[in-house]
Each structure stands twice: as C-alpha cells, then as structure tokens.
Amino acid sequence: MYYEVNYEKKGQELMSVKWMAIESLIDRIFSSQSDVWSYGVLLWEIFSLGRVPYPGINLGHVLMKEIQKGYRMDKPELAPNFFSEIMSDCWKSGPKERPTFSQMEEIIRSHTSRRFIHFYIHHHN
C-alpha cells in the first residue's frame, strides 16, 4: 500500500482519507452510513482491478474540498451498471440518502441471481 498517499495523520490517529465519507472527513462522524460510503470505494477498487481510489488526488484537504464540491469517481470500466448505481448511491452527500447494507444486499442478490440463471441456461443447454 502507498502509505504516504492513502493515509493522513489527524492528531494522534492515522486516517484512511480516501475511504472516508464526507461527514467523517469534515466532522469526524463515523457510523454505519459512513461505512456504506467506504463500501462504495471498495466496490470501485474491485471493479477497477485494484487501482488506488481518487487517482491524481494525493492530499486529504484537496480530496475533501473536491468531494464537498460534488466530485465523485467515474464508473470503472468493468463495473456492471447496477454496481455503478450502488456506488453512486453510496457516495451521496447526506448519510440518510445512502442505502443500508441490507438494501444493497437485496439489490445485489436480485441482479446476480437473474444473471446467474441466464448464464446457466445459455451455457448448459
């Protein structure tokens, strides 16, 4: 991991700023909904095959300003549309606007189940 780029010292703590929700960056508020934001970043990493989030932005204060202005990462090329929608929902500014993990589980199950059935039928007949 690129220690200098991905973590910043805030007081006595090291913070993984590129995975932090806007309310965590600004007000140090951490909740299930800030975890949802981080999950969106994780999905972005998975579908971009392990790229470092927010490429080209290396300072936490710059990232915070960009996110406050509404900047969000682009859809990774390999991400199915429904995962791109989930990522966008995870990165909504208001924590209450973001989906819960249970809601995301339902969405992912509904899409992956249909895709699996479609794949299975077409490749096993």
**How far is the C-alpha of 67 from the C-alpha of 61, rounded, in Å?**
10
Total-model pTM: 0.82
pLDDT on residue 112: 81
pLDDT on residue 3: 43
User: Smallest Cα–Cα separation from 83: which of 63, 120, 62, 112?
Assistant: 112
pLDDT in tens, 45-65: 999 999 999 999 988 889 999
Asked whether residue 42 is assigned to any structural domain, the reply reads yes
Asked whether residue 111 is assigned to any structural domain, the reply reads yes
Asked whether residue 9 is assigned to any structural domain, the reply reads no
Strand partners, 9: 14
Contact 17, 6 (CB under 8 A): yes
User: Smallest Cα–Cα separation from 38: which of 57, 51, 25?
Assistant: 25
CATH code of the domain covering residue 96:
1.10.510.10
Least confident of 5-14, 51-60, 67-76: 5-14
Contact 47, 83 (CB under 8 A): yes
Regarding predicted confidence, which is higher, 80 or 124?
80
